[in-house]
């Protein structure tokens, strides 16, 4: 079973690395980080990762993971090759997934029209513009398409998927191995829980970054 | 404020990327991925990331993050340069932190002797061999040293640290931005919660990997 993480300039690292940490531990899978060209791919910050395959070298995969990040804007607006590749490879997948605003790329490929889906809370209007119905949940499954909410939600998505692929015991064992027994020191991880002061900070320092 | 993520061959990606996703969003910080040499650093799997600085180019930092992973074994046993660098730079830090078995490196540098600390559950005996007292918690603070439990615990550690550095509102805003409102599909993320079947799977497929 081949799992492809399809990167582009400006992706958010945790969107890809979270699911990779889970899915790569399933027995019998191989994982590939791919991008338009082989070689270094700059994320949305200081992290640069290596793509070990060019997208055009891959004409199929079993599981596709499309991360989000500020770079989705350029992909959706101007990288028709990436969007076409997603549409083409989707025909071969067992599961097509996205994390965060990666769902906007699935939407641009025409894969979400009329389907329930999720995304980063800040991208919900853009998601609906692709024809999807935004659902404010961590993980939304519609047939073989699985979308996750913002950034860290990719870990929950991947555990859900790991159970579908390898069974509940495998998923639980991976959860134990990555010690995913979360204890956030605050309870501010979703829009309804955030106070006005926190929202002001997001607007001033994060949403523009 | 400079935050250094000190990588080595065989580190576990989420150990570094989880905290980076949180800490890099604090206003006024710069983050650097460093390793023995500049250039590509292979993780414990298929992911390769770029080190933008050599450790020897950095003689101080404000926050040091040491990730864990199977590669800690080689660092502790045979990479005296890395261990010496950690000991030296620790004198200059405001916070010295580790994720997962990264604490074994802090221990090898002599930084944990007599202190409470945590690590991946599978490395607790090795941690105690460094003179630390293992505490089975997600995040353990001892003076300026903050250790996190396995892999995903680095996110909780980084949010705790973000609050100490930038205040509660900043930490909560980052939590909202990365939508860290975890909903694991199972409750198997720590040793006391795991059933025998799950532990058998870990032994057969994960602990050796």
Domain that holds residue B160: 2-182
Convert the pLDDT of each residue in B11-49 to its tens digit: 999 999 999 999 999 999 999 999 999 999 999 999 999
User: How many CB pairs (< 8 A) connect A and B?
Assistant: 244
Q: Is residue B45 part of a domain?
A: yes
Convert the pLDDT of each residue in B159-173 to its tens digit: 999 999 999 999 999
- Which domain CATH number covers B115? 3.40.50.880
User: Which residues of B have a catalytic role annotated?
Assistant: 100
Q: Is residue B195 part of a domain?
A: no
Convert the pLDDT of each residue in B133-154 to its tens digit: 999 999 999 999 999 999 999 9
Q: Is residue B102 part of a domain?
A: yes
pLDDT for the residue numbered B21: 98
**A179 inside 8 A of chain B by CB:** yes
Interchain proximity B121–A151, CB inside 8 Å: no
- Helix H, strand E, coil C: the string for chain B is CEEEEECCCCECHHHHHHHHHHHCCCCCCEEEEEECCCEEEEECCCCEEEECEEHHHCCCCCEEEECCCCCHHHHHHHCHHHHHHHHHHHCCCCEEEEECCHHHHHHHCCCCCCCEECCCHHHHHHHHCCCCEECCCCEEEECCEEEECCCCHHHHHHHHHHHHHHCHHHHHHHHHHCCCCCCCCCCCCCHHHCCHHHHHHHHHHHCCC
Query: How many structural domains compose chain A?
Result: 1
Convert the pLDDT of each residue in B95-129 to its tens digit: 999 999 999 999 999 999 999 999 999 999 999 99
- Say which of A14, A27, A159 has its CB closest to residue B184: A159
**A196 inside 8 A of chain B by CB:** no
pLDDT for the residue numbered A209: 46
Interchain proximity B14–A17, CB inside 8 Å: yes
Confidence of residue B207 (pLDDT cuts 50, 70, 90): confident
- Rounded distance between C-alpha atoms, residue B122 and residue B120, angstroms: 5
User: Which residues of A have a catalytic role annotated?
Assistant: 100
Select from A19, A127, A179, A184 the residue whose CB has the most chain B CBs within 10 Å, as the one to mutate to test that interface.
A179
Residue pair B29/B1 in contact by the 8 Å Cβ criterion: yes
When pLDDT is averaged across residues A183-188 and rounded to a whole number, the result is: 97
Q: Is residue B18 part of a domain?
A: yes
pLDDT for the residue numbered A208: 63
In total, chain B counts a number of residues equal to 209
Computed on alpha carbons and rounded to an integer, the radius of gyration of chain A in Å comes to: 16
Please report, rounded to a whole number, the percentage of residues in chain A having pLDDT higher than 70.
Answer: 99
Nearest chain B CA: its distance from A137 CA (Å): 10
pLDDT for the residue numbered A207: 87
**A151 inside 8 A of chain B by CB:** yes
In this prediction the ipTM stands at 0.96
pLDDT for the residue numbered B208: 63
Report which secondary-structure segment, H or E, holds A197: helix A196-201
Confidence of residue A5 (pLDDT cuts 50, 70, 90): very high
Interchain proximity A33–B47, CB inside 8 Å: yes
Is the pLDDT at B209 greater than 60? The verdict is no
Q: Is residue A208 part of a domain?
A: no
pLDDT for the residue numbered A45: 94
For chain B positions 58-87, those within 8 Å of chain A (CB to CB) are none
Q: Is residue B148 part of a domain?
A: yes
For chain A positions 19-38, those within 8 Å of chain B (CB to CB) are 20-21, 24-25, 27, 30-33
Q: What's the whole-model pTM score?
A: 0.97
Q: Is residue A145 part of a domain?
A: yes
Convert the pLDDT of each residue in A87-122 to its tens digit: 999 999 999 999 999 999 999 999 999 999 999 999
pLDDT for the residue numbered A128: 98
Convert the pLDDT of each residue in A58-97 to its tens digit: 999 999 999 999 999 999 999 999 999 999 999 999 999 9
Half-sphere exposure of A33 (CA within 13 A, CB side): 30
Q: Is residue A201 part of a domain?
A: no
Interchain proximity B173–A198, CB inside 8 Å: yes
């Amino acid at each position: 079973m081949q799992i492809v993480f399809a990167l582009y300039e400006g992706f958010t690292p945790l969107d890809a690395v979270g699911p990779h940490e889970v899915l790569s531990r399933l027995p019998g899978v191989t994982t590939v980080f791919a991008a338009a060209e082989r070689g270094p791919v700059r994320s949305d910050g200081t992290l640069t990762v290596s793509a070990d395959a060019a997208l055009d070298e891959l004409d199929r995969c079993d599981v596709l993971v499309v991360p989000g990040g500020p770079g989705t804007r350029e992909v959706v607006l101007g990288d028709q090759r990436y969007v076409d590749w997603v549409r083409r490879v989707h025909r071969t997948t067992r599961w097509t997934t996205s994390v965060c605003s990666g769902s906007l790329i699935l939407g641009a490929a025409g894969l979400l029209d009329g389907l329930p889906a999720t995304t980063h809370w800040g991208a919900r209007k853009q998601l609906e513009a692709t024809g999807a119905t935004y659902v404010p949940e961590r993980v939304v499954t519609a047939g073989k398409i699985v979308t996750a909410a913002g950034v860290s939600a990719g870990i929950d998505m991947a555990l859900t998927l790991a159970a579908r692929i390898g069974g509940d015991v495998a998923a639980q064992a991976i959860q134990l191995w990555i010690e995913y027994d979360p204890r956030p020191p605050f309870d501010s991880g979703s829009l309804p829980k955030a106070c006005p002061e926190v929202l002001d900070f997001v607007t001033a320092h994060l949403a523009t970054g």
